[in-house]
Amino acid sequence: MRSCHVLVLCLLTFFIGCAKKESSQDLREKTADATAEMKRDAKAVASGIREGWDRDKPLDLNSASRDQLLSLPGLTNDEADQIIAGRPHKVPDELVGRRILTKSEYDKISDRITAR
């Protein structure tokens, strides 16, 4: 029984002695890396939340960028350019009256646009 205790004690001492001890500099570097990764992840989450909020808001025809206008379903480059050239718009359905969009094209995006 005593030899079993001695063997366990020797093995424990061996494993503790072989364990790599990290320097404080290594620990600081790992902490800095982990912090930077968490910061990047937090920015990505915030960006996703912001995008989700913006997706639910109607797009203002008078301030939307060309890329934002092109994100509307079925809108072409020429139509986006005509919307921008025709600013300011008083109401969204002017796009039909000015013959920028057909009524059916307008109906597809009418709930996603506004004119402020």
User: How far is it, in rounded angstroms, from Cα 12 to Cα 16?
Assistant: 6
Task: State how beta strands 113-114 and 59-60 pair.
Answer: parallel
Rounded to 5 degrees, φ, ψ at 60 are -80, 120
| Number of alpha carbons in the 13 Å side-chain half-sphere of residue 111 | 3
Q: Tell me: the pLDDT tens digits for 81-98?
A: 999 999 999 999 999 999
Tell me the per-residue pLDDT of 48-92, one tens digit each, with 9 for 90 and over: 776 666 566 899 999 999 999 999 999 999 999 999 999 999 999
Q: List the domain range (segments joined by +) for residue 63.
A: 59-114
- What are 18-27's pLDDT values in tens digits? 666 667 888 8
Query: CATH number of the domain that 72 lies in?
Result: 1.10.150
Residue 62, φ and ψ in degrees, nearest 5: -85, -10
Q: Is residue 69 part of a domain?
A: yes
Asked if the peptide bond before residue 58 counts as cis, ω within 30 degrees of 0, the response is no
Which pLDDT band, with edges at 50, 70 and 90, does 9 fall under? Answer: confident
Residue from 108, 67, 104 nearest 84 by CA: 67
Let me know if residue 105 belongs to a domain.
yes
**Is residue 64 one of the residues assigned to a domain?**
yes
How many domains does the structure of the chain reveal?
1
pLDDT at 55: 61
Q: Which of the 8 DSSP states describes residue 101?
A: S
Q: Using an 8 Å Cβ cutoff, are 103 and 50 in contact?
A: no
What pLDDT shows up at residue 52?
65
